Structure 1
Amino acid sequence: MRSGTQLDAFTRQLSFPLDPFQIEACAALEAGHGVLVCAPTGAGKTVVGEFAVHLALESGRKCFYTTPIKALSNQKYADLTGRYGKDAVGLLTGDTSINSDAPVVVMTTEVLRNMLYAESPTLLGLSHVVMDEVHFLADRFRGAVWEEVILNLPEEVRLVSLSATVSNAEEFGAWMEAVRGDTTIVVDETRPIPLWQHVLVGRRLFDLFDAKVTPTGGRELVIDPDLVSHVKRRLALDRMDSWEPRGRGRSSDFRPLTRPEVVARLDEEGLLPAITFIFSRAGCEAALSQCVRSRLRLTTPEQTARIREIVEKHTRGLPRADLEVLGYWSWREALERGFAAHHAGMLPAFREAVEELFVAGLVRAVFATETLALGINMPARSVVLERLVKYNGDTHAELTPGEYTQLTGRAGRRGIDVEGHAVVLWRPGVEPVDVAGLASTRTFPLRSSFRPGYNMSINLIDRMGAAQSRALSERSFAQFQADRSVVGWTRGIERNERALGELRERLGGADGEMFEYIRLRERLRSRERLLERQKRADRRGAAVQSLAALRRGDVVGIPVGKRSGLAVVLEPDQDRDDPRPLVLTEHKWAGRIGAADFPVPAHPLGRMRLPRHVDHRTARGRRDLASALRSTGINAPRKPKRAKSGREDAEVVELRKALRAHPCHSRSDREQMCRVGERYNRLDRETESMRQKVAATTNSLARTFDRIVALLTEWGYIAAGEQPEATEEGRRLGRIYCESDLLVAECLRRGVWTGLTPAELAAVVSCVVYESRQDADATDRGPTAAIRGAMAETVRVWGEIRAEEVRHKLPPTREPDGGFVTAIYQWAGEASLVDALVSAGSGGKELSAGDFVRWCRQVIDLLDQVQSTAPDPSVAKAAAQAVGSIRRGVVAVAAT
């Protein structure tokens, strides 16, 4: 490192030496390059971002430090103010504005995006932007914001992008180079703290990998043989237990440990503090309750006193009357004993207290959802995974290697621990080889989620015109990745076309008789395949219909497969698309059957009386029920015969006749030439498939942009002409940043929300931002006639927008959700927190205090936008008053 450089001066301020990757990135930054740094969690990437802050301050210019979530912004703001003082650092997170004109401003990425579109004067003098956790651009809900910022930042701004380790860093870096100019890519895959992998089976803690075997010469890691043999014995004992009276043959060593027992076991091994990832909020709270009910305590009296002080500091602004409903006393008791939960449903003040206590070493066991893994500075000595499956919003899916790496990356505190530990809790179904696959794979490809939207499109057109806006969408990382796949398909098409030409020549050319014969034969086969698919579809349709009609107690015959024989329906399933009733067969197998098991419809052969509660999960229950089924005297039908084909298709008859009459049909080398023809046809189909993929992919984002422009032009948000431009209504739309931006703009333009009181306006506005976590009964249509009328009209407008989106082939705007209407109406009307939370749960959807605050803040954010964009002054005034009414009590505390 050269003396006299800014890097040298910066390094002298640090209490630790820089790692090689940090020096490389900082040197590139000082040389005027942008940088992309990809390194594991906890490796110290943020030092590079802090050096960007140093460079900006030393040159008398500005640096913006962006993060994906408010918690990270708050944390970074605290770090930077601790170093540079409060006068030099500001904070902007949507609902918080502190010293926004400072030379260094920490903000959420959405705030910077909005500044760019508004051409805010705050951007003047900006020299550096740090994008922490830039891999968040893969997020399917908010990831597009990162690309909007990267594409719209002025060219002279140096971009510092900090990412977790991704397997396509070079691809991402190549795109950054293309759109931002000179960019240095720095990749470091070395964890600063070694990570040991373990599996906890009962009370025994095993290494996942054999420590005696060091992988050399390309050899892979070897699973610990003691772990493998122990798991086999455990499974063997479980099988024995299923045949013996309950309790015999089962070793107490294999009893699943309770959560307090797991924490105590980790404490015995010296592995605390620990974060246990549980993929549900309810699971985190349940784990915390179990620990509080146990006798376990992880703190000393001195630590307890200090914990109480920190808790008081974070919660002193909470109304005393609300403490009971917030669960304050049990939460504080858990903290004083060294336990905590951490998830997005917690009150922000509670969550921030947990973070401070954990970093201070006062809380030693945290039960958290995966949101904690997103960059929040809460490292631990060990990380525990209870399960390797999580709900991803659509279904329960196995963890990916990237998710496993991100979660376990919290283990190992730099400067405190010499090593970190990842512990997987074993349970039946968890295979050591699968855990090893997760732990040893480092594939985490970054995939863009960028898609043009209404607000984005109108802002781009207003700033740079339609042509440049269209070109900008083509420069996105999403199109960059799509185009790279097009390159491969294009090469494949060229290769196939050469091969097709050679095959055509062998067949006598495209105008030859044999080529004509081959084409005729292909038409026949295509028609026959189509008819066969139709038959299969008809058979499946009949099977689906018959399965959906089955009732509990119906006895059916499974005609084919290894489950063939009699079966009784335990739980019917009336799913119209894929009914899968639960059955028990005469052979003691219980499970769900589907249309694939029935080449013929499933007609009941008889009925069987079932007890009210059927225990099909135990061997005894299955055995008794199967015996009763066999004793009914109902006989299973014979294997069904293939149905005779009906009247032959007329087109098939004509094609066969034409084939037999063709001159080539009698050629001696016909079959040999037909084999050449089959190769030609197969290759031709493959080539056509690639052509369709290329056509669908090339300029796909630009086509979406064009469709959005067409819709907005029809609706008057864009003025048509050679140079389309935003109208006054369009500029209003450009200042609305929410998922349902066009719906909000249209409701304001049509006066749908005019005449509502502040509390009523808050209620109606909530339906376009609130989204129920589960499919609960959303029958809440509002407590007043004005609310009900405005909501009905809002839904009608949404229906019009959705119809236009279908016509223009655009992604759908989400339907309004009335699940938060009564709760926010009561809160804005000065109701107590208890009453508001009770209203929030009245539709069957329990809402935590943290979720209540979060949705209140989102309603406030949209009301602020309504205030600044509403053409009706009375609506703007009502929105401003509503914001004041909502921002009180726990909501006001959360915003400070």
Structure 2
Amino acid sequence: MSSISGSPSPSDRYQAAAHRAAEAKTYLGAFARTLDFELDDFQREACRSLQEGRGVLVAAPTGAGKTIVGEFAIYLALERGLKAFYTTPIKALSNQKFSELAAKYGSANVGLLTGDTTINGEAPVVVMTTEVLRNMLYADSETLGDLGFVVMDEVHYLADRFRGAVWEEVIIHLPSEVQVASLSATVSNAEEFGAWLDTVRGDTDVIVSEHRPVPLWQHVMVGREIVDLFAGDTTFDEIAPQIPDTEVPDLSDTDDAVDEATLPAESRKIAVKSSVASPARQAVTGPEFEVNPDLLAMARSESRMNFNGRFGHGGRSRRRQDRYRDERQTTEQRSPVRKASRPQVIESLNRQGLLPAITFIFSRAGCDAAVAQCAASGLWLTTEREQQIIAQRVDEASHEIPADDLDVLGFWGWRDGLIRGFAAHHAGMLPTFKEVVEKLFADGLVKAVFATETLALGVNMPARCVVLEKLEKFNGEAHVNITAGEYTQLTGRAGRRGIDVEGHAVVLWQPGTDPAAVAGLASRRTYPLNSSFRPTYNMSINLIAQFGRVRAREILESSFAQFQADRSVVGLARQVRGREESLAGYAKSMECHLGDFTEYARLRRELSDTEQFAARDYQRARKSRVADSLTRLIPGDVISVSSGRLAGYAVVLDSDANAREPRPSVLTSDNQLRRIGVHDVDAPVSPVTRIRIPKSFNAKVPKSRRDLASSMRHAVSDDAPKSRRNSRHEDFGLGSRLPDQEQKITELRRALRAHPCHGCSEREDHARWGERWWKLRKETDGLIRQIQSRTNTIAKTFDRVCDVLSAYGYLETNDAGTVTISTDGQRLRRIYGEKDLLISQSIRRGAINDLDAAELASLASTLVYQAKREDRGLRPRMPSVALETAVDIVVREWSQLEDTEEQNRLPLTGEPELGLMWPMYKWAKGRHLQDVLSGTDLAAGDFVRWAKQVVDLLDQLAKIPQLDPRLTRICRESIDLVRRGVVAYSTVA
């Protein structure tokens, strides 16, 4: 019995106490006692699921503490004498988790595997990148023995179009007895993903938490002033869990307008529309999430100022250059807000007590420039004591780096920034430098970090405040707006649990900022998780080797990608059923007592289509013949145009024989210069006469035009009979229809008149229903084709991959019809990467046979390196003749493979990139880092990262059992040449 006040009754309290006492005796109770904080409800619920033997999918906001669930899985494994793997999408996150778990469970119990780094790989707890686990599964590694738990951190990364498929491969192939703890950011279709996990892994509980333990306030920094984005006194996070987020359309990913009337009342409270043309337009209703009216007024003011600046002054009498002077002014100059510099932004945050802060700048160069600007401004964020600690840690972390390399690495500027309290963090930095930044920031010694978006992916660097310089980024191909999901991921870093009572997200005001659009991003808490899975060559051949082709096909059909496609088919099938019912109604309405009106309607439709096709064919043929006649014209030809804007005579001034749609220049009889094309004449043209064009003729001179036009008129007058004869409308062999089309049309008309329904008095009324039926039938057939195209899509792709592998001899079929793996196919099984088949083919064709160790490293770089778009396609001078021959083999194999993939409708393998060949060759030859990077745009950190990938590829090749022992030896020598200096330094990078 509950008390009137709503507090628990004595009976309820007794039961709760009994439950806590019982739980205290379990693994979960023992684990909870090791923590210095109380578990949240979602954490406790997820841990119970693991304890009871079920898998779990935990979807919660960044910073909510979902990694606790992963740590409990590790605790269970150790308590039960089993192994636990902790997988992450990036090496930086693997390194961080390795350090954390080693500190907690002891270095002897924790290992690290990241492809190029192996530390204590047989430990009971191993942290690894997801690719490493995938490779272990395909190799049937002995390390998998006694594996009890796998934690898949940042599992929403399976949506990544380049590497996301690895997650699904692992989930599908893990032994059934292994429990999987999947940790994800909040996604709107967590239940769908959980349903798939339940299908392929067995019992899986889905635990979703939308509660942020630290509320997040949204702001816009206007100049140096921080302004609230929303007008209310409540953070979005405090009310959002009450709102069914899945009902709110993702406005960032669609151009369709949202009809608020179609949304539930509670959803309409946070629906936000945005428009660049109308920045003040606001569709937020309800006082909780009303956009700050001051920001909207500022946007309107800026919009008016920009408009007046472009069109508000001057008139037709102004000189052209003056008229466009305002247009040349930058938008920043016309903005009513003076944008704060980066040092001023940090100073403003410091005054407001919002440090430590992470500023996301979607550019490596921008991050480095921000550090330099803050240093140049004289900004200091640290005390003397903090400066001493930072200097000591930096010097300790870098003492093994060769002194000669420090200048090249930008060490001194980096060190100075750290001592002042700020630093950059991006993929172009030396891994060791990034680790130092992460640790100093986590310890509160560094107060401001300028980072690219890679920092948002799981690396544990929470801050009090997150700043977004812009809401657009370069995605490798174009500048695009960030999505609501990306905004959530980035701003999720704000608010340190147990330290801050609230977090703050700040968007810097840019000219043209739309406050309603920012509110739209801020009010969307989730985003859909869509599979990027597709069968690759390596995946397919490994599956066939383990399970056979038939079973492999069935396994691929169990992927999340196919699961989502099948679910979408359910919706399409529902539409088809509804349309079929409508078709039945239409068919009934067009019933005729004289006969089968459906057949009569088909004849009418077929006749109409045939006549349209005939007209289209005639127009196409006419256009072709006209274009051909125009290409035959030469200067001096006089032609006659019977109608249109060029009606009359004209003399050809220049030919246009090579154009796809020729448009020769002509001079008309009224002295006008024109171009004549296929749309200006009704039929092919031919000269009626010719005249001589003087060498002194200048089309820009009016007198020259008048004289030539006069000569043309005289010539036409002198040759009037010929003129009249050739100016007739002749179709030059073109009839209005082709003979076979004419015959078919005649037959259809005869059949139509002979049909019984032709004499029906209600024929046209029936016909209108027939037209509706026919249109709906066509649309329904289109939906059916969509269903057919989505059914078994993954398996069909797998079949095409197998066709390519068979064509190249990697798959063989024996007399019994069983598909087997050839010797070359066995080699492909051990090659992982986007260019797996190209690498295998290059080896097969002898590309590496005559190379020494340094040349091999250089060639390997062409198969892993991804150049910037502007640097692609450049072929440098080769370091040696042997290497040039090897590159020719690789490029030739790539070209043939691309043709094969196009024929089989498969994604194309990326072109070999030659831009890293010389730097890698010089490095393998022992040259100094400064010499290696000289003349390139490579940052030292980028070079180290690519060098590690070269080492990873060479290590794969060295482990291929089918490789010649001499080549295996050269691969290992090449690894030793590359893994030196800064590449070898930083053991967990």
Verify same fold: TM over 0.5. yes
**Does 2:337 correspond to 1:257?**
no
Give the residue type in structure 2 aligned to 1:875: L
Question: How has the CA–CA distance of structure 1 residues 524 and 283 changed in structure 2, closer, same or farther, with 3 Å as cutoff?
Answer: farther
**Does 2:790 correspond to 1:691?**
no
Task: Tell me how far 1:43 sits from its aligned partner.
Answer: 0.3
Task: Tell me how far 1:691 sits from its aligned partner.
Answer: 1.6
Tell me how far apart the structure 2 counterparts of residues 649 and 414 of structure 1 sit (CA, whole Å).
78
Deviation larger for 722-731 or 7-16? 722-731
Tell me how far apart the structure 2 counterparts of residues 711 and 510 of structure 1 sit (CA, whole Å).
58
Q: Which residue of 2 aligns with 1:589?
A: none
Tell me how far apart the structure 1 counterparts of residues 381 and 898 of structure 2 sit (CA, whole Å).
55
**SS of corresponding position for 1:254:** coil
**Does 2:836 correspond to 1:741?**
yes
Task: Tell me how far 1:715 sits from its aligned partner.
Answer: 2.5
**Match of residue 395, structure 2, among 312, 326, 338:** 312
Contact kept in structure 1, 2:159 and 2:529, CA below 8 Å: yes
**Does 2:958 correspond to 1:867?**
yes
Question: How has the CA–CA distance of structure 1 residues 230 and 673 changed in structure 2, closer, same or farther, with 3 Å as cutoff?
Answer: same
**Does 2:972 correspond to 1:877?**
no
Structure 1, residues 290-312: CA drift from partner, whole Å, max 9, x if none?
21211221111211111111212
Tell me how far apart the structure 1 counterparts of residues 303 and 146 of structure 2 sit (CA, whole Å).
66
**Match of residue 471, structure 2, among 361, 378, 388:** 388
Deviation larger for 518-527 or 368-377? 518-527
Deviation larger for 344-353 or 311-320? 311-320
Give the residue type in structure 1 aligned to 2:905: K
Alignment of 1:634-673 (within 5 A): 648-650=736-738, 662-663=752-753, 664=757, 667-673=760-766
Give the residue type in structure 2 aligned to 1:798: W
**SS of corresponding position for 1:196:** strand
Alignment of 1:590-609 (within 5 A): none
**SS of corresponding position for 1:707:** helix
Identity over the aligned pairs, expressed in percent?
Answer: 51
Q: Which residue of 1 aligns with 2:230?
A: 209
Q: Which residue of 2 aligns with 1:762?
A: 857
Tell me how far apart the structure 2 counterparts of residues 894 and 658 of structure 1 sit (CA, whole Å).
83
**Match of residue 85, structure 2, among 64, 85, 102:** 64
**Match of residue 931, structure 2, among 807, 811, 835:** 835
Name the larger-Rg structure.
Answer: 2
**SS of corresponding position for 2:186:** coil
Deviation larger for 652-661 or 818-827? 652-661
Task: Tell me how far 1:196 sits from its aligned partner.
Answer: 0.4
**Does 2:311 correspond to 1:226?**
no
**SS of corresponding position for 2:564:** helix
Question: How has the CA–CA distance of structure 1 residues 208 and 528 changed in structure 2, closer, same or farther, with 3 Å as cutoff?
Answer: farther
Task: Tell me how far 1:874 sits from its aligned partner.
Answer: 2.3
Alignment of 1:359-508 (within 5 A): 359-508=442-591
Contact kept in structure 1, 2:355 and 2:463, CA below 8 Å: yes
Structure 1, residues 171-228: CA drift from partner, whole Å, max 9, x if none?
0000000000000110000111100001112223211111258979834411112222
Give the residue type in structure 2 aligned to 1:138: A
Contact kept in structure 2, 1:346 and 1:848, CA below 8 Å: yes
Tell me how far apart the structure 2 counterparts of residues 320 and 513 of structure 1 sit (CA, whole Å).
93
For normalisation by structure 1, the TM-score amounts to 0.84
Question: How has the CA–CA distance of structure 1 residues 767 and 540 changed in structure 2, closer, same or farther, with 3 Å as cutoff?
Answer: farther
**Does 2:446 correspond to 1:333?**
no
Alignment of 1:83-122 (within 5 A): 83-122=104-143
Deviation larger for 315-324 or 209-218? 209-218
Structure 1, residues 481-520: CA drift from partner, whole Å, max 9, x if none?
0111112222322332333234334434899553233223
Task: Tell me how far 1:41 sits from its aligned partner.
Answer: 0.3
Question: How has the CA–CA distance of structure 1 residues 202 and 518 changed in structure 2, closer, same or farther, with 3 Å as cutoff?
Answer: same
What's the C-alpha RMSD, in Å, of the aligned pairs? 3.1
**SS of corresponding position for 2:24:** coil
Structure 1, residues 348-396: CA drift from partner, whole Å, max 9, x if none?
1111111111111111111111101001001111111111111222222
**Match of residue 702, structure 1, among 790, 795, 802:** 795
**SS of corresponding position for 1:462:** helix
**SS of corresponding position for 1:435:** helix
Deviation larger for 847-856 or 311-320? 311-320
Contact kept in structure 2, 1:504 and 1:510, CA below 8 Å: no
Give the residue type in structure 1 aligned to 2:224: R
Tell me how far apart the structure 2 counterparts of residues 599 and 376 of structure 1 sit (CA, whole Å).
63
Give the residue type in structure 1 aligned to 2:579: N
**SS of corresponding position for 1:90:** strand
Task: Tell me how far 1:781 sits from its aligned partner.
Answer: 4.7
Structure 1, residues 95-127: CA drift from partner, whole Å, max 9, x if none?
111111111111111111111111111111111
Task: Tell me how far 1:429 sits from its aligned partner.
Answer: 2.0
Question: How has the CA–CA distance of structure 1 residues 424 and 660 changed in structure 2, closer, same or farther, with 3 Å as cutoff?
Answer: same
* Structure 1 gaps, min length 5: 542-575, 578-597, 602-644
Contact kept in structure 2, 1:520 and 1:659, CA below 8 Å: yes
**Match of residue 887, structure 2, among 766, 791, 811:** 791
Q: Which residue of 2 aligns with 1:615?
A: none
Structure 1, residues 755-802: CA drift from partner, whole Å, max 9, x if none?
101011111111111110223152225221111111001111122222
Tell me how far apart the structure 1 counterparts of residues 615 and 781 of structure 2 sit (CA, whole Å).
22
Tell me how far apart the structure 1 counterparts of residues 405 and 850 of structure 2 sit (CA, whole Å).
33
Give the residue type in structure 1 aligned to 2:971: A
Q: Which residue of 2 aligns with 1:544?
A: none
**Match of residue 848, structure 1, among 918, 926, 939:** 939
Tell me how far apart the structure 2 counterparts of residues 394 and 251 of structure 1 sit (CA, whole Å).
29
Task: Tell me how far 1:458 sits from its aligned partner.
Answer: 1.2
Q: Which residue of 2 aligns with 1:771?
A: 866
Tell me how far apart the structure 1 counterparts of residues 611 and 385 of structure 2 sit (CA, whole Å).
82
Contact kept in structure 2, 1:748 and 1:871, CA below 8 Å: no
Question: How has the CA–CA distance of structure 1 residues 385 and 673 changed in structure 2, closer, same or farther, with 3 Å as cutoff?
Answer: same
Contact kept in structure 1, 2:302 and 2:336, CA below 8 Å: no
Q: Which residue of 1 aligns with 2:820?
A: 725
Tell me how far apart the structure 1 counterparts of residues 592 and 954 of structure 2 sit (CA, whole Å).
70
Contact kept in structure 1, 2:592 and 2:766, CA below 8 Å: no
Deviation larger for 527-536 or 255-264? 527-536
**Does 2:175 correspond to 1:80?**
no
Contact kept in structure 1, 2:614 and 2:741, CA below 8 Å: no
Tell me how far apart the structure 1 counterparts of residues 493 and 833 of structure 2 sit (CA, whole Å).
32
Question: How has the CA–CA distance of structure 1 residues 676 and 771 changed in structure 2, closer, same or farther, with 3 Å as cutoff?
Answer: same
Structure 1, residues 681-736: CA drift from partner, whole Å, max 9, x if none?
12111111112112211111111212222322333322313332222321211011
Tell me how far apart the structure 1 counterparts of residues 134 and 120 of structure 2 sit (CA, whole Å).
19
Q: Number of residues paired by the alignment?
A: 798
Alignment of 1:512-591 (within 5 A): 512=595, 514-526=597-609
Q: Which residue of 1 aligns with 2:47?
A: 26
Contact kept in structure 1, 2:91 and 2:114, CA below 8 Å: yes
**SS of corresponding position for 2:148:** strand
Question: How has the CA–CA distance of structure 1 residues 324 and 530 changed in structure 2, closer, same or farther, with 3 Å as cutoff?
Answer: farther
Tell me how far apart the structure 2 counterparts of residues 533 and 370 of structure 1 sit (CA, whole Å).
53
Deviation larger for 880-889 or 677-686? 677-686
**Match of residue 36, structure 1, among 51, 57, 66:** 57
Q: Which residue of 1 aligns with 2:34?
A: 13
Structure 1 runs (4+) deviating above 4 angstroms are: 212-217, 237-247, 249-253, 509-513, 524-541, 598-601, 645-661, 664-667
Question: How has the CA–CA distance of structure 1 residues 255 and 789 changed in structure 2, closer, same or farther, with 3 Å as cutoff?
Answer: same
Question: How has the CA–CA distance of structure 1 residues 143 and 660 changed in structure 2, closer, same or farther, with 3 Å as cutoff?
Answer: same
Question: How has the CA–CA distance of structure 1 residues 284 and 655 changed in structure 2, closer, same or farther, with 3 Å as cutoff?
Answer: farther
Task: Tell me how far 1:660 sits from its aligned partner.
Answer: 5.8
**SS of corresponding position for 1:87:** helix
Tell me how far apart the structure 2 counterparts of residues 395 and 793 of structure 1 sit (CA, whole Å).
33
For normalisation by structure 2, the TM-score amounts to 0.76
Task: Tell me how far 1:674 sits from its aligned partner.
Answer: 2.1
